[in-house]
Amino acid sequence: MQTPLDFTKKAKDDLSVDFFDEKACRMAVLKMIHKEGPRCPRCDKAITSERGIVNFYELKRVFCKHCKKIFTALTGTVLNGMQIDLRTLYLLAVFLALKIERKEIARMLKIHTETVRLWEFKFKAFEGLDDMTVKSHFHDLQ
Ligand SMILES: [Zn+2]
């Protein structure tokens, strides 16, 4: 018969990124970095078309009818060009906040321990920001 201790350890060992809903995690991150909803990173006009909004939150390309820019929800944000998906990123933030060991986080999220360490520093850097957009990167977006 299993003891309760074995059960909790086994439960913890079985936990992985796959237990978490991709959409829920993605939406949580996108709502955090876009508090005012979908906007064009170039002209700052709100995206109002139904298709534009859907595409925005699905990380697909969005077309701005005002300035004709094509972009995604990550364009012009500090998360642009990152190598991990938003679910992994979200859980990484949660697990770090819960003070879980880097090695355990890496195992659960199926990423390298070094990636966890790197993001730990990035999140610390984000703490000083008013928002997650990077105006200085705009020259790359034209
Ligand atoms: Zn625009």
Structural domain boundaries enclosing 75: 18-140
Is pLDDT of 140 > 50?
no
Residue 31 alpha carbon to ligand 1 centre in Å: 19
* Residue 69 belongs to a domain: yes
> Residue 131: which pLDDT band, with cuts at 50, 70 and 90?
confident
Q: How far is Cα 77 from Cα 40, in angstroms, rounded to an integer? A: 12
Is pLDDT of 27 > 80?
yes
* Residue 112 belongs to a domain: yes
Residue 133 alpha carbon to ligand 1 centre in Å: 15
Residue 84 alpha carbon to ligand 1 centre in Å: 27
Note the pLDDT of residue 136: 45
Residue 53 alpha carbon to ligand 1 centre in Å: 14
> Residue 20: which pLDDT band, with cuts at 50, 70 and 90?
very high
User: When comparing pLDDT for 131 and 67, which is higher?
Assistant: 67
Domain count, the chain: 1
Tokens representing residue 5 in the block: 């201790």
Is pLDDT of 129 > 90?
no
